[in-house]
A = this chain, B = another copy of it.
């Protein structure tokens, strides 16, 4: 059983009527709904509670919760700064220990994603009702399984290059937009013991998370980034390989 935690700001859905119509129970529940299945169990956590308050200073993320999470999915947009440093570092360290991490859409600017990649993760952007077509670059990768040569999103917010990220370990999808831009829309990284997948679709004002291909890719990604090995990385003092007392001392 893969234990997924879907984290969402949960702000736009409560402050904008248009967004609320698309995602009445929040983006986190829309994602949870299509993910739940025989081998995937899903919980959710949000920054804002149902009174639009940040009542829980941990944003629903503690070390204990992350220890019981195989894959953390992150959606955030306008409130990245309200995620405490300690929480962002807990997430980063859990990923380095092996937890899978999926950053969706504007989570390119979230603290955990930026801290894990090290770059600004800036990009070009435009909200203008462009449509997007996403093309599969690696048809044999498990994350693109079941996807045709390309699929269509009408509309989606435009994200354009240059996207300031480290060269992905694997580039799986490239999107192009009716207004001109191209974007590396599906990027896979290994960091420490963990796997990270960035997936560009998912603007809050569009019903993107109801699109079958988007759901397929996120479900595939959950299975792909789920850990097979998880261990906190340390910086051990080691003895000479031939030392009779044994060679590793973890300080």
Contact = CB atoms under 8 A, between A and B. Distances in A.
A15 interface: no
B240 A179 contact: yes
A219 B242 CA distance: 28
Is chain A's binding surface mostly helix, strand, loop or mixed? Answer: loop
A200 to B, nearest CB: 13
Contacts of A191: 118-119, 166
Contacts of A161: 135-137, 174
Contact of A118 (B109, B118, B231, B241): B118
B119 A192 contact: yes
Contact of A160 (B125, B162, B229, B238): B238
B126 A237 contact: yes
Nearest to A117: B118
Report the interface size class on chain A. 35 or more
A150 interface: yes
- Chain multiplicity (copies): 4
Nearest to A196: B118
A139 interface: yes
Contact of A180 (B120, B133, B234, B236): B133
Contacts of A128: 239-240
Nearest to A122: B235
Interface of A: 92-93, 96, 98, 109, 115-120, 122-126, 128, 130, 133, 135-142, 145, 149-150, 158, 160-164, 166-167, 169-171, 174-176, 179-182, 184, 189-194, 227-231, 233-242, 247-248
